[in-house]
Structure 1
Amino acid sequence: MTQKQNIKIIIYVVLLITAVSLLVWWFIYNSIRIKDYQRLGDMRILESEMNIYFLKFNTYKIPECSEGMLINFCTGRSGQSPNVSTLIDPVNTDSLRYVLTQMTDDNFRVEFYLESGLLGLTSGKYALTNEGLDR
């Protein structure tokens, strides 16, 4: 092989490694964004379910549901529960969970975490209340 061919092979290998690295980064980045979209979708569903619950029972307080619980375990008593049992964070480990931090007659607060941030929201901890998203 000539030196010119060796240089071409090295250039092609470097380009291939760069392309593969970019593809891997792209897939990882998009998988995190997809999880954040799912979290925001879950919060929209939770907001709707909690408002329907409030309209039915004139309270946000769910029987047998206490602060510090994961929201999907807040099933309440028969006939008096919102449909939130399927709302589970896509990762569901450590700080990446939907945790109920406040539940009173006139308000609720469920904290969650965005990994990458999107739609003008930065990454970090957020909370859903009866007034919408809060930091």
Structure 2
Amino acid sequence: MIYDDIKALVAENNRSKEFSDEFVICLIWKETNFNSEARNSKTSATGLMQMTIGAVDMVNKNTPAGVHFEHAEMTDAAKAIQCGTYYLDIAKNRLGGVDVSFGTGKGYTKSITVCEDCLKNDSEHPMVALHKIHM
């Protein structure tokens, strides 16, 4: 997928009350470089937001009635973004933060928030901001 595709998908599917579309776009880039088919060979992390079986189960236990996801759906970009952004709010409010819940340790979100600020302030050059995430 390309940036414009992801931007439109995030705008339509971001369920987070805590995180901006730009943050979600940067997270998706950091996790998968916009590859909706991404799978981690060492864990069950799947899709744009690298949702694990446990994370999907947690979302299902903490979302409104009628909201339900299957881990097998995480390669569907829209469902992955919906589930993943619900998870971001759960992580922030119940699990000790995104740094902890994504299992990458302290400082995980620093490059994402820098990228988020860059996207918000320079929307003409989004790929420049995104490429800095991997430096």
Q: TM-score range by the shorter chain?
A: under 0.3
Structure with more relative contact order (C-alpha pairs < 8 Å, separation 6 or more)? 2
Q: TM-score, normalised by structure 1?
A: 0.23
More helix by share: 2
Q: TM-score scaled to structure 2, two decimals?
A: 0.23
